[in-house]
Amino acid sequence: MLLDELTQQAKLKTTNTIYESKAARDAFYQNQTWRNKRKEILRRDNNECQVTKSLGGVDKDKLIVHHIKPLEYYPELAMDDSNLITVSHTNHNIIHGLTLAKFNDEWW
Ligand SMILES: [Zn+2]
């Protein structure tokens, strides 16, 4: 199921860590290029959580454009459409593990 798959992929790591620091990730997320990409992905995904959709539901509340393979370890996929997916805040917390507050920076 999609949620399991996303949860597994969120744990992947490499040594290619140009976005390892919070400052580097903040700079990425604040960049206009990302903001435009985020809007594009939200549109592509019909402004709804794709995990909920895969289960037959609709959730358009508090959406996050999530990096399937983490930005931290896959910088080359930072803007790759195939590595981006719209998910609800609730499912995003599940994907990353509820206590990993550092991933909140993906929120914007
Ligand atoms: Zn995420």
What pLDDT digit, counting tens, does each position of 48-70 carry? 999 999 999 999 999 999 999 99
Domain boundaries, the chain: 2-107
> How far away, in angstroms, is 68 Cα from ligand 1 center?
7
> How far away, in angstroms, is 101 Cα from ligand 1 center?
11
Q: Could you say which DSSP state residue 64 is in?
A: E
Is 6's pLDDT higher than 90?
yes
22 pLDDT band (50/70/90 cuts)?
A: very high
> How far away, in angstroms, is 24 Cα from ligand 1 center?
16
pLDDT digit string, tens, across residues 75-108: 999 999 999 999 999 999 999 987 555 556 666 5
Tell me what pLDDT residue 53 has: 98
Tell me what pLDDT residue 104 has: 62
Q: How far apart are CA 28 and CA 4, in angstroms?
A: 27
> How far away, in angstroms, is 71 Cα from ligand 1 center?
9
Q: How far apart are CA 9 and CA 29, in angstroms?
A: 20
Is 41's pLDDT higher than 90?
yes
